[in-house]
Amino acid sequence: MKILLIIDDYLPSSEKVSPKMMHELACEYIKQGHQVGVITPNSDINTGVDVLKIDGVKIYRYKAGRVKNVSRLTRAINETLLSYYAWKHLKAIFKKERYEVIVYISPSIFFGPLVYKLKRLWNAKSYLVLRDFFPQWVIDNGLLRKHSPVAYYFKLFERINYSAADVIGVMSFNNLEWFGKYYRKNKYMEVLYNWSSINPVVNCTREKYRKSLGLNGKVVYFYGGNMGHAQDMMNLVRLANHMREKTEAHFVFVGSGDEVNLVKNAILHYGLKNITLLPSVNQEEYKEMLLEFDVGLITLHKSHKTHNFPGKILGYMANKMPILGSVNLGNDLKDVIEEFNAGYICINGEDDLLARKAEKLLDKDCRVRIGINARKLITDKFSVNKASIQILEKFDRPCKVSSKLAE
């Protein structure tokens, strides 16, 4: 089968979780004997299209407007044009290369028009891997008014994006229920968990970052990824402040986002010596950090109405790291983690409880036991092999409507 993956960012330049997931999915399909192509925008290339291969995956990068380090208006315009530029630069390739299945992934909501065109051109089927409900999470966090013209603009493209899909996979059962209430469309919807290839890094001394950061002998609580409003990084800063007297504990935050300066200022304000804040690193460096450090941290803003499973938990689990964090009320990630005893998840705002759980993980035997459970969880529920089969099996037989909703 010929499978096309569409994503708004990709390797080798991206350090995000979604590109890593999609690349692992592409590699898994190649291993299974399928032919795979990837299309992704890139603002840095000098031509309309360039083609490269990574691990046998053929990647078509097309010229598009910049979306990083630009104004919100410029970003919105350039993201709106993602489908237009893809068709403009890749039309000749699309007419020559035919694919049977299109797999595209959020959080971008602007690939719907492109998917519609390609489905008509190839008579193909499409699967939307829906990870973020945008603009809903922005509205929930008070960053955008629900009935503003901008919200209606984004909602229009969101609905086009959804309607272009034959199947939509959301990341949790609570999200499936939420989606069914607010998007009344006769559509096949299901739970598709995040996935990982499971294999941790093995060619690492396990001391590289501990030595360079002066953390030998410390229990390191690690957060790696986006530091934005949706995460509520002050949640973790408060945790570090709670544990400032536990001299054996240290926190390492790695990443970028809107709240980096907030974290910097909080560290100075509280005089915290137990936090090391680092900029984003590439995928290989990130993997090495996972192998060295002890506890994987997650945090989600309490205002979320939808229920995301942060992709960073995949790397934590693959490396036998116990998971510690807090999420919005009603998020069923808490149930999944607790079912396997793979970590401790609190509700955002339960600061004292979160600190007590963090202190439990100072004990090495506790960490090892829970880390083994985390590894079992990723094997049972979050493997890339399982996800790859689940996506394609929908197109081997007629889809039954799992959430048939009245118009």
List the chain domain ranges.
2-197+384-393, 208-381
Q: What is the pLDDT of residue 124?
A: 96
> What's the pLDDT tens digit per position in 149-172?
888 888 899 999 999 999 999 988
> What's the pLDDT tens digit per position in 81-91?
999 999 999 99
Select from 54, 385, 367 the least CA-distant residue to 222: 367
Query: Using an 8 Å Cβ cutoff, are 127 and 103 in contact?
Result: yes
> What architecture does CATH give domain 208-381?
3-Layer(aba) Sandwich (3.40)
User: In the 8-state DSSP scheme, what is residue 228?
Assistant: S
* Phi, psi (deg, nearest 5) at residue 196: -150, 155
Same CATH topology for 2-197+384-393 and 208-381: the answer is: yes
> What's the pLDDT tens digit per position in 188-222?
899 999 998 877 555 555 689 999 999 999 999 99
Render 122-191 in DSSP notation, one character per residue.
HT-EEEEEE---TTHHHHHTTSS-TTSHHHHHHHHHHHHHHHT-SEEEESSHHHHHHHHHH----BEEEE
In this prediction the pTM is 0.82
> What's the pLDDT tens digit per position in 242-262?
999 999 999 999 999 889 999
Q: Strand order of the sheet with strand 57-63? A: 49-54, 57-63, 35-42, 2-6, 101-105, 125-130, 167-170, 188-191
Which whole number is the average pLDDT over 290-319? 88
Select from 213, 254, 208, 214 the least CA-distant residue to 231: 254
Select from 151, 164, 181, 397 the least CA-distant residue to 306: 181
Select from 354, 93, 311 the least CA-distant residue to 221: 354
> What's the pLDDT tens digit per position in 90-119?
999 999 999 999 999 988 999 999 999 999
331 Cβ contact list (under 8 Å, min separation 6): 172, 174, 300, 304, 307, 308
Q: E strands within 171-285?
A: 188-191, 219-224, 249-254, 275-278
3-state secondary structure of 108: coil
Q: What is the pLDDT of residue 195?
A: 93
CA atoms of 376 and 24, how far apart (whole Å): 19
* Residue, of 403 and 176, whose pLDDT is higher: 176
Q: What is the pLDDT of residue 283?
A: 79
CA atoms of 86 and 237, how far apart (whole Å): 41
CA atoms of 23 and 70, how far apart (whole Å): 27
Q: What is the pLDDT of residue 399?
A: 47
407 pLDDT more than 50: no
Q: pLDDT averaged over the chain? A: 90
Q: What is the pLDDT of residue 12?
A: 87
**Tokens encoding 218:** 């410390």
For residue 400, what pLDDT band results from cuts at 50, 70 and 90? very low
Reduced to 3 DSSP states, what percent helix, strand and coil does the chain have, rounded to the nearest 5?
40, 20, 40
222 Cβ contact list (under 8 Å, min separation 6): 251, 252, 254, 289, 290, 293, 294, 295, 296, 297, 321
238 Cβ contact list (under 8 Å, min separation 6): 351
CA gyration radius for the chain? 21
Placement of tokens 């915290």 in the chain: 272
147 pLDDT more than 90: no
Query: Using an 8 Å Cβ cutoff, are 275 and 251 in contact?
Result: yes
State in words which class domain 2-197+384-393 has: alpha beta
Residue 173 burial (C-beta neighbours within 10 Å; 0-12, 13-18, 19+): middle
Select from 13, 309, 269 the least CA-distant residue to 133: 309
